[in-house]
A and B are shown apart, each in its own frame.
Chain A
Amino acid sequence: MSRLPAAGGAHLVVLRNVWVHKGGTPWTMALFSVYEPILYLLALGVGVGALVGRVPGVDVPYAAFVAPALLATAMMNSALEETTQTVYGKLAFDRYYHSLLVTPVTTRGMVAGELLWAVLRALITGVGFLAVIVVFGLARSPLVILAVPAGLLTAFAFGAAGLAAAAYARGWHSFQYVQLVMLPMFLFATTFYPVTVYTDWVRMLVEALPLYHAIELSRGLALGEVGPGLLLNAAYLVVFGGVMLAVAQSRWATLMAR
């Protein structure tokens, strides 16, 4: 009567998360997730943007320059939120995954399911923020619509990293270290200004950050400046996400085998 669920039951893990959130429609979720980036867009994009005018070298209004970066970081944050603290709580305190262990859901299925869910959450955020960009009149090219799938790649990469971090965490305080990495990355990975403001060696450091590539990809598409460089950015995210996923899978396998 009961068949073994396919894909290690990954879709069932997603279904469970949808179930928990069933009180909120995708729109209220999106509203919550885009609220903070909208504030930043208004304060920095519009407010400080008025002092900047057009961004030198890129030659677009400042707000249009910042918006795609905020789209990428918003989608990244959605994926991270779902995979770090939320997952850690279910892992360490609710012992949710241990209760799954005795079902036909596999450990790989759990990891894949949580990652899929994180990407879904990011999709909701991305669609919401894309609407904001359009309403604010910040869309410079029809290709801006592709910034959302690009953001899914970002969400995949950071979601995988988040799942690895959750499995290595030794307590809530461990996530302070995640913050310690994420805040500088958010501030310096060319969210607010082009990479050309940096001296050469800082520039090389910044270009090694995954968020830099996420932002390049998002901004390139949103501003309609498509070139082969974007493929490189995408490839970076795929490789980074793939490595992180492998790390997460192996760490989860050890953790759950104990």
Chain B
Amino acid sequence: MSRALAYWLFRYRRTWQGTIVVSVANPLLFLLAIGAGLGSLVRGDVEGVPYLEFFAPGMLAAAAFQNAFIDAGFGVATARGRERVYQTAVATPLSPGAVMGGHLLFIGLRVFVGALAFVLVMAAFGLFSSAGTALAVLPAATLTGVAPATVVAAWAVTVTDFPRLNTVFRFVVMPMYLFSGTFFSVEQLPAALQSLMYALPLWHGADLCRSLALGTATPGMTLLHVAYLGALAVAGVLVGRATFRKVLYV
């Protein structure tokens, strides 16, 4: 597994500077334009805080989620398809499980770096009351990305046509990104949609990040969110071991 990770790190050597710029620029742009700009039109507080404070942790979760989908979805499908990275790897003593594990670790690392950049930008906006808050939000955001990533990777390795990934991105990821209590509270949604969002991972991630950032977290809800996301991550790994094996040992 560490050898499979080493491969991805080796490749990352060449591109990491560019991805860091994007990781910092994106939150900066969104916090400025939506959080501060659009926020200036919002009358009064949202859930007891100014819009920017409400929006930032939600956007953090949404960005982690979206980036994880892109890495795990398009990244895995490309590695299996066009680049044939996996096939090359399993022709060596590496097992499909290790190939998957290595790639997931790498995706996790990327999600973490992205979350770190976002948290730093939030800190620059003065959105954390203490360093401890920021340190609690960081793993929460990483978990928000990694949990769906394992599931997406388990599925993406079986996907041979990119258009299908695009379809899922448009019709599943985008709506979740926008409506999971990221840009506005899910309580504004019609009841049916509201319950749907409660069942989906990004709401758990967004609520986890937000409650930690705003200091409103309760042990019960935090446990629930972490358990949900943790279970999702484990399920993804278990299914992934099977799908990777099936696809790579043809």
Contacts and interface: CB of A to CB of B under 8 A. Distances in A.
A154 to B, nearest CB: 20
Interface residues of B, number: 24
A171 interface: no
Given A48-B42, A51-B42, A39 B178 contact: yes
A43 B37 contact: no
B49 interface: no
B174 to A, nearest CB: 6
Nearest to A188: B33
Contacts of B40: 193, 197
B20 interface: no
Nearest to B181: A47
B84 interface: no
B183 interface: yes
B123 interface: no
B41 to A, nearest CB: 5
B188 interface: yes
Interface string A38-66: 01101110011011110110000010000
A9 B48 CA distance: 62
A50 B190 CA distance: 13
Contacts of B25: 180
A183 B63 CA distance: 15
A53 to B, nearest CB: 6
B43 A44 contact: no
29 contacts: A35-B170, A36-B174, A39-B174, A42-B178, A42-B179, A43-B184, A47-B178, A47-B179, A48-B42, A48-B183, A48-B184, A52-B41, A52-B42, A62-B41, A176-B18, A180-B25, A183-B26, A183-B29, A184-B29, A187-B29, A187-B34, A188-B29, A188-B37, A192-B33, A192-B34, A192-B37, A193-B38, A193-B40, A197-B37
Contacts of A192: 33-34, 37-38
B65 interface: no
Interface in B17-32: 18, 25-26, 29-30, 32
B222 to A, nearest CB: 26
A56 B175 contact: no
B74 interface: no
A183 to B, nearest CB: 6
B184 A47 contact: yes
Interface of B: 18, 25-26, 29-30, 32-34, 37-38, 40-43, 46, 51, 170, 174-175, 178-179, 183-184, 188
A258 B178 CA distance: 47
Interface string A179-221: 0100110011000110001000000000000000000000000
Contacts of A193: 37-38, 40-41
Contacts of A52: 38, 41-43
Query: When A and B form their complex, which 7 residue pairs have the shortest distance between CB atoms, in order from nearest?
Result: A187-B33, A43-B178, A47-B184, A51-B42, A192-B38, A52-B41, A48-B184
B184 A51 contact: yes
A168 B60 CA distance: 35
Contacts of A43: 178-179, 183-184
Given A42-B179, A43-B178, 17 more contacts: A35-B170, A36-B170, A39-B175, A44-B183, A47-B178, A47-B179, A50-B184, A50-B188, A51-B46, A187-B29, A187-B34, A188-B32, A188-B33, A188-B37, A192-B34, A197-B40, A197-B41
Contacts of B170: 35-36
B112 to A, nearest CB: 22
B198 to A, nearest CB: 17
A144 B195 CA distance: 37
Nearest to B18: A176
Contacts of A183: 26, 29
A158 to B, nearest CB: 20
Nearest to A184: B29
Contacts of A53: 43
Nearest to A191: B33
B180 to A, nearest CB: 10
Contacts of B32: 187-188
Nearest to B179: A43
Given A62-B41, A193-B41, A47 B33 contact: no
A183 B18 CA distance: 16
A56 B174 CA distance: 29
Given A47-B183, A192-B34, A197-B40, A40 B178 contact: yes
Contacts of B43: 51-53
